[in-house]
């Protein structure tokens, strides 16, 4: 009996020993695996750092300019990635937006450090052609349009019209801290345009309002003017950032905002949709711009510049929104629900014209709309 017990104990001890050795080997293997993974990651980081250092030290064969500060990290990363792929180093330069095209033109004419490729909005394209600093080819990169955000606590579904939002205010208590049913940047014509856009045509000669005295246009202006009596927005104090901040704090129930500001939204429970109707029968007409890459006609490296532009447009799409707040124009780009709503609105919006004198239109249009909002009279034929 004792012998059998001893055998059992010895057998059990041996089995436990085997288990412990196996466990030790298993955990050793796991730890080794972790070490290998960490080593691989470290080598990857080192490789990326070495690539960046090599790019920074390399002689720049191409020059790229941009004036959008939000794109700084993005374009610098594009340049490093392009260098890793091609061995070609592109110099990236931020230039202040004021007199941007004039700076490009002046640098090109004096043959100083001018860009072979640069970022511009589509409404600057015609001016770039007139200056002679753009080829006909363009590379669309991202867009800028208007969308509406709404508090889901008040509107479980997206409001179908501005009138519906106003009706909600008449039939419901707005709650503590709510100052406005609806807000947008009334001080900027770009944000006022959708209220009258269906009756505004771009005159290719002087870009004036062709239907200023039309009946439907006056109806839309009347709708806009009447809003000023219901929605309290001070044109001297409001701006796009204030609109976003008010909505995030719950001080407004709905807001028309720039698609570029969607990454600034911090409200807890909100929805995003395209622009609604004005009322049951009158649509809003959104307006949009497209950020494009243009090759300088004077560049001695047009093919290289075009290749870098195509690289940014097609191969760096997935990081664009996260790094800049801009949303890609590419049809096949990956988008979440919010970005997709903005993209659909962009496709249904009126593209800002690329006329050299379009700025004069926006200046006059903004002046007219601000005057009307602040008590001015409707235009008379």
pLDDT of 13 over the 50 cut: no
% of the chain exceeding 70 in pLDDT: 83
pLDDT of 7 over the 60 cut: no
The answer to whether 282 and 198 are in contact (CB under 8 A) is yes
How far, in Å, CA of 378 to CA of 381, rounded? 10
Confidence of residue 48 (pLDDT cuts 50, 70, 90): confident
Coil/strand/helix, residue 181 = strand
The answer to whether 93 and 115 are in contact (CB under 8 A) is yes
Six token digits for residue 232: 């309290």
Between 48 and 46, the higher pLDDT residue: 48
pLDDT of 42 over the 80 cut: no
**pLDDT attached to residue 98:** 82
Alpha helices in 155-301 (DSSP H): 162-171, 189-192, 215-230, 240-248
How far, in Å, CA of 102 to CA of 84, rounded? 33
What mean pLDDT value characterizes the chain? 85
Q: Can you tell me the mean pLDDT for 149-157?
A: 96
Q: Can you tell me the mean pLDDT for 122-151?
A: 94
**pLDDT attached to residue 29:** 39
The answer to whether 146 and 257 are in contact (CB under 8 A) is yes
Top-ranked range on mean pLDDT: pick from 21-30, 240-249, 323-332: 240-249
pLDDT tens for each residue of 165-183: 999 999 998 878 888 999 9
Q: 3-state secondary structure string, 96-132?
A: CCCCHHHHHHHHHHCCCCCCCEEEEEHHHHHHHHHHC
**pLDDT attached to residue 97:** 79
Cα 249 to Cα 142, 151, 246, 260, 267: the distances in Å are 29, 11, 5, 19, 7
Q: Can you tell me the mean pLDDT for 66-80?
A: 96
Read off the DSSP letter of residue 269.
S
pLDDT of 380 over the 90 cut: no
pLDDT of 12 over the 90 cut: no
Between 11 and 125, the higher pLDDT residue: 125
**pLDDT attached to residue 333:** 85
Between 8 and 305, the higher pLDDT residue: 305
Rg value, the chain, Cα: 29
Burial of residue 307 (number of CB atoms within 10 Å: 0-12, 13-18, 19+)? middle
How far, in Å, CA of 191 to CA of 187, rounded? 8
pLDDT tens for each residue of 208-225: 544 455 678 888 999 999
Burial of residue 305 (number of CB atoms within 10 Å: 0-12, 13-18, 19+)? buried
**pLDDT attached to residue 146:** 98
Give this prediction's pTM: 0.83
The answer to whether 138 and 294 are in contact (CB under 8 A) is yes
pLDDT tens for each residue of 345-379: 999 998 888 776 677 788 888 998 999 999 988 87
How far, in Å, CA of 306 to CA of 310, rounded? 6
């Amino acid at each position: 009996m004792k012998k059998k017990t001893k055998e059992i104990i010895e057998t059990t001890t041996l089995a436990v020993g085997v288990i412990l050795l196996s466990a030790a080997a298993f955990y050793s293997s796991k730890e080794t695996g972790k070490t290998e993974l960490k080593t691989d990651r470290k080598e990857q980081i080192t490789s990326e750092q070495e690539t960046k250092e090599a790019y920074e030290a390399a002689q720049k064969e191409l020059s790229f300019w941009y004036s959008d500060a939000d794109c700084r990290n993005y374009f610098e990363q594009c340049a490093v990635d392009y260098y890793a792929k091609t061995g070609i180093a592109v110099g990236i330069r931020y230039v202040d937006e004021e007199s941007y095209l004039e700076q490009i033109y002046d640098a090109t004419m004096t043959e100083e450090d001018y860009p072979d490729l640069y970022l511009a909005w589509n409404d600057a394209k015609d001016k770039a052609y007139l200056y002679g600093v753009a080829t006909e080819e363009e590379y669309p990169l991202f867009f800028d349009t208007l969308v509406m955000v709404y508090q889901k606590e008040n509107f479980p579904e997206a409001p179908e019209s501005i009138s519906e939002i106003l009706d909600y205010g008449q039939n419901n208590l707005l709650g503590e801290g709510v100052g406005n049913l609806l807000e947008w940047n009334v001080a900027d014509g770009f944000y006022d345009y959708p209220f009258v856009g269906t009756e505004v045509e771009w005159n290719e000669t002087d870009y004036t309002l062709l239907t200023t005295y039309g009946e439907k246009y006056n109806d839309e202006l009347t709708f806009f003017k009447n809003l000023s009596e219901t929605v309290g927005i001070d044109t001297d104090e409001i701006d796009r950032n204030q609109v976003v901040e008010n909505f995030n704090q719950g001080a407004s129930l709905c807001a028309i905002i720039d698609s570029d500001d969607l990454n600034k939204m911090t409200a807890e429970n909100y929805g995003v949709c395209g622009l609604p109707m004005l009322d049951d029968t009158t649509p809003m007409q959104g307006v949009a711009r497209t950020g494009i890459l243009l090759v300088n006609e004077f560049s001695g490296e047009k093919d290289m510049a075009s290749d870098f532009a195509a690289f940014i447009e097609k191969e760096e799409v997935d990081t664009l929104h996260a790094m800049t707040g801009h949303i890609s124009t590419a049809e096949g780009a990956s988008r979440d629900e919010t970005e997709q709503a903005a993209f659909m609105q962009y496709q249904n919006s009126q593209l800002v014209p690329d006329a050299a004198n379009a700025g004069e239109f926006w200046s006059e249009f903004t002046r007219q709309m601000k005057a009307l909002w602040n008590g001015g009279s409707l235009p008379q034929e």
